[in-house]
Structure 1
Amino acid sequence: MKSKRLSDSIIIRLLALSLAIMIFGVLSRYYALGSFLRQDLGQVVSEQQLALAGYVAHDIDDKIRQRKALLSRLATALPPELLDRPDALRAWLKERYQYQPLFSIGLFVVRPDGRVIADYPEVPHRMQVNYGDRDYIRQSLQGRFYIGKAITGRSSGVPVLPMSAPVQVSGEVPAVLVGVTAIAAPGFLDLLQQSRIGDHRDSFLLISPRDHQIITGSQSELTLQPMPEPGRDPLHDQAMAGYRGAAVAATPQGEEEVRAIVQVPSTGWLVVAKLPGRDAFATVARVQHFTLRQALIAFVVFSVLACGGMYIVLRPLFRAARHADRMTRGELPLEPLPIHRKDEVGYLIASFNRLLRKLEDKQTELAQMAHHDSLTGLPNRLLLSDRLHVALAQAQRRETRLALLFMDLDSFKMINDTLGHKAGDKVLWQAAQRLSGTVRQSDTLARIGGDEFVLLLSDLDDKAEDIARTVADKCLEAFDTPFLVSGNSCQLGISIGIAIGDGYSNPDSLLQAADQAMYRVKKTGSSGSATIHL
């Protein structure tokens, strides 16, 4: 029962509504703020990634250009006559290598048939290797500088990046000068390989779209790995199709990632800077968690304050409800409720009080209608019966007597038939007024139907019959004066039957005796009274 009252409480409902609105606002702010921060932070992080990738690409481009410039100068400066003197050519290479050791694996010169003429530093098995199948050898034999595909060196056994420049003599290419740099060589790609974005190990990739190859990356195990198959990574596919820039994309594993793609101008390679979404948008998650924590605290504080505030505001209403409930159960009399404030609650209680007064007035009116004759205003048969029982009980206690006068108007039917019922009603009203003027305030004059009236005289002594006859004579005298109705003078008589009884008389017997006495008078054909003792 108590839980039912709680669920029906206006405070609980208002609180639930307020909390629902508050929760809706918090969730809206949670998602709206998260979306805004993700969008704003995503743009900032993308620009940062683009700047980092651009910086790394610029560094790689500088390193490649240095090596290209050096190798091209050496190829141009190489004396053609040394091509037939391997030892002298090796000495020449040694001198230049020691002066600018940009190619960590070394320099060597290859004939058009792919055989090595000389190298430095000297590698024992290099002279036996045929390089004719290498892409960079074939391209340089056609007279141009070329950066070969990154491979695992045949002689060194480590991932290397070969570059080649043609040695031209009179428009012919009798040899190719090759410079090989280990991909992991210090001062070459170490900015890309050693840099980390936050705690993310796989921060950078260096990709060769021409060779469909990952040259190297922040994770060394990615070196010389093939690129993903088309369709596995949409952003990678876009990069292969020419897209350059930064975007938030999903990895093949379905994880969110911020990637920036920048091209190395001198090679066509792509530098890819990567940052996992969980790191990129960690601030968003922290802000959202902070928002939820603050909302939870506000939720608790609001609940306490709202409950207390609404209880204080609505306390007069609760008091009024309890007061009204006790009145409906009969524990308190029906009375206006006290008004403590002039706000909406006070206005409601005042309206209730006005309604209560109207109900009391209506109840009084209904009681009047239930116990009184609507035409004359005299008590009706029901009220007469109640007062007769009270008078009999009183007479029994005091050992007194009472009299009941049953009166019937003579010639009243003729007035109704000749002048109409409205005229008859007026005659009845005038008759009631005349009879009322002849009785005491303690007596009861009632109209019990038609033209019949009953007068109850209570608390009489041994001279009850004399008193009753005296009152009957007054009633007869009241009818000596004609009645004026609609300009007509009407003379009416009255037949009065008197029943005398005491406290032990029966109410119905009294009324029947008075009625019989009245009919005795009727039979005489003239007004008068007759008495019967019980």
Structure 2
Amino acid sequence: MMRLCLGCSLKTRIVAVVGLLFVGGISLITFFVTRILHEDMRAMVSKQQLETTQYVAHDIDGKLHLREESLHRIADSIPRPLLGNPDAMQRWLTEQRSILEMFPTGLLIIPPDGGPPIADAPHLKTRPKSFVDRDWFIDVSASKKTVFSKPLIARATNQPAIVIAIPLLRPDQTLEGILIGVTPLATTGFLDLILGASPGQAGSYQLISPRHRVFALASDIKVAVTRMPEPGKDQVLDSAIEGVRGIRIIEQPGGARELVSIEDIPHANWLLISRQPTESAFEPVANTLRNILLIAALLGLPSLILLLAALNRLLQPIASLARDLHEMAEGTRPMHPIEAQSTREIADVAESFNRLQGKLLEQEQKLASMAMHDTLTGLPNRLAINHRLEYEMLRIQRSKRGLALLFLDLDNFKPINDTYGHQTGDALLIALGERLRSCVRDVDMLARLGGDEFLILLSDTDIPQEAAERVAQACIAALGEPFVVNGHPLQVSASIGLAIAEGGAEKQVSPQHLLSMADQAMYKAKGDGRNRYAIYQSEN
């Protein structure tokens, strides 16, 4: 017999337990949520400040690199005979208008003794007559390498500036002159992300030269080219000079705490510091948490009443379902399908579950595809071609048709990466993959192993060596045509190793051995002069 006592029903127990736990539970939940949210929001604020600092530092370093590269191009194009003809040299330098935008107050060529400029653009009468006392002149004369100066006050313009000095060397590596570019720190488009900007309402940016303990620039232009405080007076600056990088909270000697992010600017050996008091940085976090606590308090009691009423309503179908199931278990009602009294809700749950299942299946398919393909070129990766190779090796044991494996390694790809950067190198690999696709059949597989290595699997061929040589020749010819990537004409070639597996052979090599054979043949091709192919020859 079904017991109908009030305290025994699931509905009554759920309502009672929820009622008892709600008051204490909402307090505990609010406490833990606010603690977790507090940490998450602090981490988010810190991450935003760090990412902004990294972006600004990268922007400054890129602009310094651009100026250095531009000076190198000018240095390489200087007609060296004009160094002995100041008037002609002055006319030539004045014509280099495109680079003057980067060095608006000074593009100079000075003699190796540091005397008056041979030529300068713009031509200023206030140029000093000697540069022998400048740190950059001493460094470039001694090292005969490009030098970035410390932050300084340009004597010709009395403005904070940085000097980039490039030596002009004779064939015997003696100094023939020095090309220097002077960029005011306040030049439009140079350090705009620092000047007048600040992280938060009470923060600031500081650009420092740790080697010279000098401020290069700060959010306030008045701080430019001034000495840093003595060690011990500013823990943020001391930490930066000691090698601290990234984001952290630093406590000053007086007890004040600051959220600080520090990033390197490698070209000039400078540091960018973003700092703001923690009270200012985390003020939005504190405001949000206060609002959450207030809302929780105001909504607590009404929420409890609504929750109990809603539970009573929502659990009614469960009570009906439990009664039906109990009657069928007791035998007072024959077994039959239970009619859903909440058809819409059940349908919604089913539909939501089906949608979730579909999305999970779609994600699984995407993950499976990502696991089998190279993320850069979209070609099959090492795992995919290993699976295909194992399958093909099993197939040719039962067939008279063989297969061939071509191992391609690009020649001199690293200098392209080093010269034009990884972005250009990646774009070249993508274009190269597209071109190699045109050299193989649809049934064959082109894969990228990683770096500048590719594999081509030719399957189901009557004469695998002839097919492999034909494809290798097609690949060499295809790569012989120059590539144009990001405006750069690039020429690459490949050394190709060929390994053959004949169909129906009594003793078949393993997939890994076949790959090793192709690898050895590729190195033979490289040893024979590159830009060619070689067929694996057994030592026996």
State the TM-score, normalized to the length of structure 1.
0.48
Q: Which has the larger radius of gyration?
A: 1
